[in-house]
Amino acid sequence: MKIRQSKVKIIFLIIFLLISFNSLTNLQNSYPTENLDGSILGKVQDEFHTLVLGTKELLGERNDVNRIGSFTRFSIKALSPFGVFYMNNKMGGEHHITTENMHNFAGYSYLERNLNGFPDIIHDPNVQNFRFAILLLRNLIFILLLTFISYILYNQNYILSSIAVLISTVFNRSFILSEKLLYTDFSNLLILYIFLFCFINKNLNQRTKNYIYLLLTASIISNGLSNVIFVPIILSGFNKYLKKDFLKYISFFILIFFTLNIAELRDPINYLDNQLWNFYHYWTGHYIIEPTGVEMLRKIAFFSFPWFGAFVLMPFYKFVQLNNRRLFLILCMTQIIILVSGSQLRVFEPRNYLGLTTIGIFIGILFLMDLEKKFVVLKPRSKNNLSILIIILFLLPLVRNVDEESLLQSELNRVDCEKLLIINETSLNFPNEKVDNLSIVITSPVEAPTYFNELEQTINPYDCLIIKDTNESKNISTFVAPNSYNIAKRTKNYFLFYK
């Protein structure tokens, strides 16, 4: 038994690493740059409310724009030390050449000077590194949580449900869109999956679960007042409490909510006004005013397919296990309310339906768990075979290669380079460009002012630069080049700058 359990743990460790590697690859090839081409990266402007204002709040500035609630900004503040550490490690420059900023050039001091709006996320490679590290750590936390949920279901002998929760989550279109952004949608997702983790976990006592549910309720409301629609889902797991504990629970909830929103509640009218602004925004349009009713419902259904199964599965609620039935019904009713109310909006924003698809996944998992309990009996040997199937299912679609050279070529065509310098890379081939290659490596001690002056003079004759992202390149890619060039494209291994 112990040997089999060890094998199972190794299998789920491999699954965690595979999904994490996929997320890392997605982030490394989706840095926000000025060529947004209508992709999800065009939504990076929304990170003004989260990354920019969250960091500014951390640095002591007051925020009067609260359309996006506090929990996401709180999570950014909590993860920011990791982001600063990563940014500092990747940052070029030298303290003798940073003049008046000699001793406070890097870290939070750098962010205080240079992170003032979403254009800085697009144009500043150091801010991009800060953002990337926070995104990666946030995604890894979620992936670890997802893996634990799958592992718990597996050990409870819900093998198909264990596989389904992994596949349905990772290949959910809303998840794929939101994993690249520091915005409230993903933190809502994290809150809902923490709820699911607690709900299926039999090792947590109910009293502990109740406090966690209250924490999650305060957090999701703090992300936006419209999130009250998710509160019945979270509180559906709240039970088995004594009347004498009621005051403790209420006090705990109020304490958490005020702790998360203490800055916002200093001016409650402004806070409420900002929170209600999005209702006006989505009910009136966003430059394009879209038709409501069936046409809007069709868009939502098409994007959310197949995760809007409440209409189909709700009539079969009596077949769901008795201890899951209340949650199942609340999930179905919530999804129907979202669909009906969403059909009356004048804006279709796919990212906003992450909650809808998440609810659909939960509905499907609860229903599948019941089917497994009633009709599917898997012996330990079968469990091992299905474990191998899990690995195969994830190994095939997630491991892929990104053609960075092709991405760079398309951007070179857009910016129309006449003279290109490739730094610290010899394998790239651009036959239609006039290309020079240069290796920049410090092989002996050099005085910083002389070295940086030479770097500036070397790149000045060129209107485009491709720089391989190495430790030897960081002085030119994150310090010298941004002074005279804009970032046209950034991939896992390369920067493309143009004048």
Residue 46 is which amino acid?
A: D
Looking at the 3D structure of the chain, how many domains does it have? Answer: 2
Give the Å distances, CA to CA, from 436 to 171, 255, 460, 486: 42, 62, 13, 19
Peptide bond into 81 cis (omega under 30): no
Phi, psi of 244 (to 5 degrees): -70, -20
Does residue 123 lie in a domain region?
no
Please name the helix (run of DSSP H) or strand (run of DSSP E) that holds residue 143, with its range, or none.
helix 125-155
Contact between 238 and 210 (Cβ < 8 Å): yes
Least confident of 213-217, 235-239, 315-319, 428-432: 315-319
Contact between 131 and 83 (Cβ < 8 Å): yes
Which pLDDT band, with edges at 50, 70 and 90, does 47 fall under? very high
Share of the chain above pLDDT 90, in %: 46
Q: What is the DSSP letter of 48?
A: G
Range of the domain at 469: 404-499
State the pLDDT at residue 388. 61
Between CA 451 and CA 437 the distance in angstroms is: 19
pLDDT at 382 over 70: no
The whole-number average pLDDT for the span 316-327 is: 79
Estimate the share of the chain in helix, then strand, then coil, as percent rounded to the nearest 5: 70, 5, 25
The token pair that represents 109 in the structure block: 């001091």
Residue 200 is which amino acid?
A: I
Phi, psi of 286 (to 5 degrees): -135, 80
The whole-number average pLDDT for the span 308-319 is: 75
Which pLDDT band, with edges at 50, 70 and 90, does 41 fall under? low
Contact between 240 and 208 (Cβ < 8 Å): no
Which pLDDT band, with edges at 50, 70 and 90, does 38 fall under? very low
* β-strand partners of 420: 435, 464
Does residue 47 lie in a domain region?
no
Does residue 85 lie in a domain region?
no
Least confident of 98-107, 381-390, 420-429: 381-390
The whole-number average pLDDT for the span 36-60 is: 80
Are residues 388 and 416 located together in one domain of the fold?
no
Between CA 169 and CA 174 the distance in angstroms is: 9
Does residue 93 lie in a domain region?
no
pLDDT at 214 over 90: yes
The Cα angle at residue 341 between residues 339 and 346, in degrees rounded to 5:
105
Domain boundary among 398, 413, 437: 398
Q: How much is the mean pLDDT over the chain?
A: 87
Does residue 319 lie in a domain region?
yes
Domain boundary among 335, 370, 398: 398
State the pLDDT at residue 33. 86
The token pair that represents 369 in the structure block: 């768990």
More confident residue, 313 or 203: 203
State the pLDDT at residue 466. 95
Are residues 351 and 447 located together in one domain of the fold?
no
Are residues 355 and 382 located together in one domain of the fold?
yes
Contact between 56 and 62 (Cβ < 8 Å): no
Domain boundary among 370, 398, 426: 398
State the pLDDT at residue 462. 94
The whole-number average pLDDT for the span 304-320 is: 77
Are residues 409 and 321 located together in one domain of the fold?
no
Question: Residue 374: exposed, middle, or buried by beta-carbon count in 10 A (0-12, 13-18, 19+)?
Answer: exposed
Please write the tens of the pLDDT for every residue from 438-463.
998 888 888 988 999 999 999 999 99
Between CA 74 and CA 69 the distance in angstroms is: 9
Residues 6+ apart with CB under 8 A from 480: 92, 452, 455, 456, 459
More confident residue, 210 or 42: 210
Are residues 275 and 299 located together in one domain of the fold?
yes
Are residues 360 and 414 located together in one domain of the fold?
no
State the pLDDT at residue 232. 95
Give the Å distances, CA to CA, from 19 to 14, 170, 174, 187, 250: 9, 8, 16, 18, 38
Strands 494-498 and 435-438: unpaired
Are residues 360 and 447 located together in one domain of the fold?
no
Candidates 234, 143, 223; CA nearest to 185 is: 223
**Which range scores top for mean pLDDT: 94-108, 121-135, 254-268, 401-415?**
121-135
Least confident of 8-12, 246-250, 355-359, 453-457: 8-12
Contact between 187 and 72 (Cβ < 8 Å): yes
